[in-house]
Structure 1
Amino acid sequence: MSTLIPTVKSSKKPAETNFNLLPSLPSWFDDILGKGLGTEFMSNFNTGITLPAVNVINSDNEFLIDMAVPGLKKSDFDINIDNNILSIGVESKTESNVKKENYTRREFGYSSFKRTFTIPHSVNTDEISADYADGILKIHLPKRDEAKRKPIKQIKLS
């Protein structure tokens, strides 16, 4: 926390302002404790997956959802459609157990997220597909034939 320094905005002298030049006792403790006991003790806490960013591309024939989620397996994903809502969920668990002469160390982790999207009525839900390669999840939402962009038709004058 930083200490406020009064600035003169009127003709009053700094001594006439209501600011205290010394920090208050609680802010002084916050400054000391905040710097010394910040995130050092929590450096490995909650290092799981955060909500991944998504790119949605609207092309002539389909919507394409790209999501960068590296380090996962295909079996970690739960992708489903319910009542025109597309849900993409991930649940990942890791566990390691190291045994040496004088010690045993066991670490585990859990991370998850869920993203949902409303599917437009222009999408053919029967033909939605997904693939996962090189850390990128791609979901293809093909458009219905009547929703696809038609090429420009030239009309000749008679």
Structure 2
Amino acid sequence: MTIVRYQNQWPSLFDRFFNNDFESWNRDNFSKTNTTLPSLNIKENKDFFFVEVAAPGFEKSDFKIELNNDLLTVSSEKKLNNEVKDGERITKQEFSYQSFSRSFTLPELVDEEKISAKYENGILSISIPKKEAAKPKSPKLIDIK
């Protein structure tokens, strides 16, 4: 007799949320200056998805977060201030505040009405709550009669 360990072969909601569209990544996620996009972290717990975008040097008013049907787009229009005072000149410039856009297809099981965001210490944090149907349920014990 062989004991077979059950393994869930279905992709998780998390995988479908963030990994379903790599082919269109360049189309949906771009930097208008052809430079590196801000880095991001994606986390999940039983109640929420969390997206964190590393964007130091921005103001919260520089960001636009838009939900169009199931497509969540985070973008920024940031202009670099190249203003120099009389007698000054720029000899080296490494600051790279850039315009960008990142898009994610949301699964059906998120509560679109309760998505929230905050910008603090250079990190834009977006909280995306799951609907009750998407939350993991505790195992149910079945009575044997």
TM-score category (smaller protein): 0.5 to 0.7
Q: Does 1:111 align with 2:104?
A: no
Query: Where is the strand percentage greater, Structure 1 or Structure 2?
Result: 1
Over 3 Å counting, the alpha-carbon distance change for 1:73 and 1:85 in structure 2 is: same
Distance 1:125 1:50 in 2: 29
TM-score when normalising by structure 2: 0.65
In structure 2, C-alpha distance between the alignment counterparts of 1:148 and 1:128, rounded to whole Å: 16
- Aligned twin of 1:132: 119
* Structure number, greater radius of gyration: 1
**TM-score in terms of structure 1 length:** 0.60
Out of 136, 139, 142, the residue aligned to residue 149 of structure 1 is 136
Deviations 1:79-101 (A, max 9, x none): 110121000001111322311xx
User: 1:152 deviation in Å?
Assistant: 2.5
- Structure 2: give runs of 5+ residues left out of the alignment: 1-32
Q: CA RMSD in A?
A: 2.5
The structural deviation recorded for 1:133 is: 0.7
Would you say how many aligned residue pairs link Structure 1 and Structure 2? 109
Q: Which runs of 5+ in 1 are unaligned?
A: 1-45
In percent, how many aligned pairs have the same letter? 38
* SS of aligned partner of 1:146: helix
CA–CA separation in structure 2 for the residues paired with 1:136 and 1:111: 15
Contact 1:89 1:112 in 2 (8 A): yes
